[in-house]
């Protein structure tokens, strides 16, 4: 039965439990607890029924069987049932353990109920149950999902004060909360605190921190974190590099964006994605560097990447800002003739090309684009642009 519990073979566990009854073997509270433990996940209802069935066998419940049932409910995001079971423990005069409270908090975290997680967390101290790393991590994660970035920072300090071990998961949840709230400074600061806690950052830590810098348009810090990621020899992912390129784009640093694309990714033995090129081309567009934008566009097929409408729109817009309207028209002409490596033009790309024509005084070409495109969406263009 215990082997079934550790491998989540719930059907085998239930069959063994049933065969014990058929063979007139005594079923103990341990037997039921093991069967319930095997029901974690989508079989939480069976776990609850087994708890009820154990009562019919006139077995005295202990905290272990309640913990197993709450774990099953937590893994299935059944926070209401988990909280009811926690309350049942107290009515049965059973003292909740750190596992009991941790399961209830985890269920609330997965269900997006951070305030209830907070209530359980603080109430546990009243019954002399002090949180451990798992409990803290579940509470921090609940705050992260609710955008409570201050809570994550506060709880990290509380863990230090209570001498509770902080692990990478603890820091990652707090940094992710800061990233989602656009608090890049606190994200980077929390990353710096990991060395003091003797906790090594992983790729999730760096990715969240770099993404926070991207949102805060802090391209310099994003580049430094990217270098730190490489130096730390942690697992590297393309998303982190894409965020750094995007940060450069937002900061108008098109040369640095190209450097990350051309040098950073190959150095890390990573292949750039379409998003990598889109961000770099967009950086060129912001600065009107049309030559670099078109060159990147030509490189994509050789890298076995298919440009998207976003890619091509940015390239046309770069030609527009660089006052190279003929180049924009030439490129669009290739596009509209269904070049195999290019996607179909859409409203955004046609708008960009028409704007280029108008600025260059090429009104006839603008009308020609409208005629060639033959897209229904063009009928929704504002009158002032045609």
111 SS3 class: coil
* End residue of a domain, out of 179, 202, 230: 179
The answer to whether residue 366 sits within a structural domain is yes
Q: Are 228 and 203 in contact (CB under 8 A)?
A: no
**More confident call, 4 vs 239:** 239
> Are 134 and 273 in the same domain?
no
Q: Stretch 145-154: mean pLDDT, rounded?
A: 94
Q: Which tokens is 16 given?
A: 């063994």
> Are 172 and 243 in the same domain?
no
Could you tell me which of 187, 280, 193, 271 has the C-alpha nearest to residue 236?
271
> Are 247 and 365 in the same domain?
yes
Lowest mean pLDDT among 26-40, 58-72, 219-233, 357-371: 357-371
At 259-296, the pLDDT tens digits run 999 888 887 778 899 999 999 999 998 888 888 998 99
Q: Is the pLDDT of residue 109 over 90?
A: yes
* End residue of a domain, out of 135, 161, 179: 179
pLDDT grade, residue 1 (50/70/90)?
A: very low
Q: Is the pLDDT of residue 361 over 60?
A: no
**pLDDT above 70 coverage of the chain, percent:** 75
Lowest mean pLDDT among 202-216, 245-259, 363-377: 363-377
Q: Stretch 71-93: mean pLDDT, rounded?
A: 91
> Are 152 and 274 in the same domain?
no
> Are 278 and 151 in the same domain?
no
| Mean pLDDT over each residue of the chain, to the nearest integer | 81
User: What CATH number does the domain containing 340 carry?
Assistant: 1.25.40
The answer to whether residue 41 sits within a structural domain is no
CA–CA distance, 205 with 188 (Å, rounded to integer): 10
Q: Is the pLDDT of residue 386 over 60?
A: no
> Are 255 and 374 in the same domain?
yes
Which H or E element spans position 36?
helix 29-37
> Are 260 and 145 in the same domain?
no
Q: Stretch 146-170: mean pLDDT, rounded?
A: 94
> Are 155 and 242 in the same domain?
no
Burial classification of residue 368, based on how many CB atoms lie within 10 Å of its CB (0-12 exposed, 13-18 middle, 19 or more buried)? middle
> Are 250 and 159 in the same domain?
no
pLDDT the model gives residue 368: 56
φ, ψ at 24 (rounded to 5°): 60, 35
Other beta carbons within 10 Å of 346: 17
The answer to whether residue 23 sits within a structural domain is no
Question: Which residues lie closer than 8 Å to 190 by C-beta, 6 or more apart?
Answer: 153, 156, 171, 174, 175, 178
pLDDT grade, residue 315 (50/70/90)?
A: confident
Q: Which tokens is 295 given?
A: 């060159």
Q: Which tokens is 231 given?
A: 């130096």
Lowest mean pLDDT among 78-92, 184-198, 236-250, 305-319: 305-319
Domain count, the chain: 2
Q: Stretch 168-174: mean pLDDT, rounded?
A: 95
Does the model's pTM come out above 0.95? no
At 211-251, the pLDDT tens digits run 999 999 999 999 999 988 888 888 778 899 999 999 999 99
The answer to whether residue 260 sits within a structural domain is yes
The answer to whether residue 190 sits within a structural domain is no
Q: Are 237 and 264 in contact (CB under 8 A)?
A: no
Other beta carbons within 10 Å of 56: 7
The answer to whether residue 297 sits within a structural domain is yes
Question: Which residues lie closer than 8 Å to 165 by C-beta, 6 or more apart?
Answer: 133, 159
The answer to whether residue 25 sits within a structural domain is no
CA–CA distance, 303 with 272 (Å, rounded to integer): 8
- 140, 152, 262 from 156: Cα distances, Å: 8, 6, 38
The answer to whether residue 20 sits within a structural domain is no
> Are 125 and 248 in the same domain?
no
Q: Is the pLDDT of residue 336 over 60?
A: no
pLDDT the model gives residue 341: 46
pLDDT grade, residue 42 (50/70/90)?
A: low
> Are 325 and 244 in the same domain?
yes
> Are 175 and 296 in the same domain?
no
Q: Are 288 and 318 in contact (CB under 8 A)?
A: yes
Could you tell me which of 372, 336, 335, 367 has the C-alpha nearest to residue 354?
367
CA–CA distance, 282 with 317 (Å, rounded to integer): 9
* End residue of a domain, out of 136, 156, 179: 179
User: What is the domain range of residue 175?
Assistant: 93-179
pLDDT the model gives residue 2: 45
């Amino acid at each position: 039965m215990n082997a079934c519990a550790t491998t989540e073979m719930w059907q085998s566990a239930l069959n063994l439990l049933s065969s014990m009854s058929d063979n007139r073997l005594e079923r103990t509270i341990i037997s039921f607890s093991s069967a319930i433990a095997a029901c974690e996940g989508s079989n939480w209802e069976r776990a609850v029924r087994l708890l009820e069935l154990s009562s019919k066998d006139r077995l005295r419940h202990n905290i272990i069987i309640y913990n197993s049932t709450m774990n099953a409910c937590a893994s299935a995001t059944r926070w209401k049932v988990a909280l009811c079971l926690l309350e049942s423990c107290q009515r049965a005069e059973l003292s909740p353990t750190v596992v009991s409270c941790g399961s209830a908090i985890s269920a609330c975290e997965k269900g997006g109920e951070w305030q209830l997680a907070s209530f359980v967390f603080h109430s546990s101290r009243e019954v002399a149950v002090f949180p451990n790393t798992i409990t803290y991590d579940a509470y921090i994660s609940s705050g992260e999902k609710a955008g409570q970035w201050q809570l994550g920072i506060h709880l990290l300090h509380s863990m230090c004060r209570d001498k509770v071990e902080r692990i990478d998961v603890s820091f990652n949840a707090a940094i992710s909360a800061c990233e989602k709230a656009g608090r890049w400074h606190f994200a980077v600061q929390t990353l710096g605190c990991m060395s003091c806690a003797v906790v090594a950052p992983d790729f999730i830590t760096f990715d969240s921190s770099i993404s926070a810098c991207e949102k805060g348009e802090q391209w310099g810090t994003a580049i430094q974190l990217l270098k730190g990621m490489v130096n730390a020899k942690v697992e590297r992912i393309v998303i982190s590099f894409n965020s750094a390129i995007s940060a450069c784009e937002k900061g108008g640093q098109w040369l640095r964006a190209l450097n990350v694309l051309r040098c950073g990714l190959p150095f890390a033995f990573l292949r750039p994605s379409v998003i990598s090129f889109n961000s770099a081309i967009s950086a060129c567009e912001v600065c009107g560097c049309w030559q670099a934008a078109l060159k990147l566009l030509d490189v994509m097929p050789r890298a076995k990447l298919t440009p998207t409408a976003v890619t091509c729109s940015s390239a046309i817009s770069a030609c527009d800002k660089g006052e190279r309207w003929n180049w924009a028209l030439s490129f669009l002409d290739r596009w509209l003739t269904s070049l195999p490596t290019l996607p179909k033009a859409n409203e955004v790309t046609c708008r960009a090309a028409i704007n280029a024509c108008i600025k260059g005084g090429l009104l006839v070409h603008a009308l020609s684009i409208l005629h060639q495109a033959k897209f229904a969406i063009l009928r929704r263009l504002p009158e002032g642009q045609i």
